[in-house]
Amino acid sequence: MNQKKHASNPWYSRTDTSKLELPDSTWKRVLPPDLYEVARHGETERAFTGRYRDFEGIGTYYCAACGNALFRSEAKFASTCGWPSFFEAERPGTLAYRTDRSFGMVRTEVLCGRCGAHLGHLFDDGPPPTGKRFCMNSISLEFEPDRK
Ligand code: FE
């Protein structure tokens, strides 16, 4: 892991799963501006621009804001939607959900269960075995390959 990248974020941890409830001003200070806009203001990166959309590495995807484990690469699937997509979470409770009524739609917003960062949305058109599609912003994710 690139520790330097998170040097300004003392709450980042790959092992501590305790919930974080920090004020917006703190996140604004510790996150890079582009990640802050997605994580704390629900911005969406442009389709087909994210670094993990076509990515097929074997490993774990962590929350880029807090280090919480979110998805395993085995749950990633090739989606045509333009964002990295997964059919299940890394473990129960690692994600949180909220109804999103923006843009005249009713969608399920997906948040990090540890820090509350906006990650993306959940749809019911995914592949077996779950039928779910966790449609994520690449910028909200941080991939770490498995150790050989
Ligand atoms: Fe998080």
Q: 């790959």: which residue's tokens? A: 14
Q: Label each residue of 21-55 as H, E or C.
A: CCCHHHHHHHCCHHHHHHHHHCCCCCCCCCCCCCC
Among 138, 98, 89, 143, CA closest to 121 = 98
Cα 95 to averaged position of ligand 1 atoms, centre (Å): 9
What does the pLDDT read at residue 144?
97
- Number of Cβ within 10 Å of residue 28's Cβ equals 13
- Provide the residue ranges of all domains of the chain, joining segments of one domain with +: 21-145
Please state, in angstroms and as integers, the Cα–Cα distance from residue 102 to each residue in 40, 55, 133, following that order: 15, 29, 19
Cα 19 to averaged position of ligand 1 atoms, centre (Å): 9
Per-residue pLDDT of the chain (148 residues; tens, 9 = 90+): 555 788 899 999 999 999 999 999 999 999 999 999 999 998 888 888 899 999 999 999 999 999 999 999 999 999 888 999 999 999 999 999 999 999 999 999 999 999 999 999 999 999 999 999 999 999 999 999 998 7
Cα 93 to averaged position of ligand 1 atoms, centre (Å): 12
21-145: CATH topology is 2.170.150
Among 121, 101, 105, 107, CA closest to 38 = 121
Among 111, 120, 119, CA closest to 20 = 111
Q: Give catalytic residue positions.
A: 135
What does the pLDDT read at residue 89?
98
> Which DSSP category does 58 fall into?
S
Q: With contact defined as beta carbons under 8 Å apart, do 66 and 115 qualify? A: yes
Please tell me the pTM assigned to this model.
Answer: 0.94
Query: What's the CA gap between 145 and 58, in Å, rounded?
Result: 6
Cα 107 to averaged position of ligand 1 atoms, centre (Å): 20
What does the pLDDT read at residue 120?
97
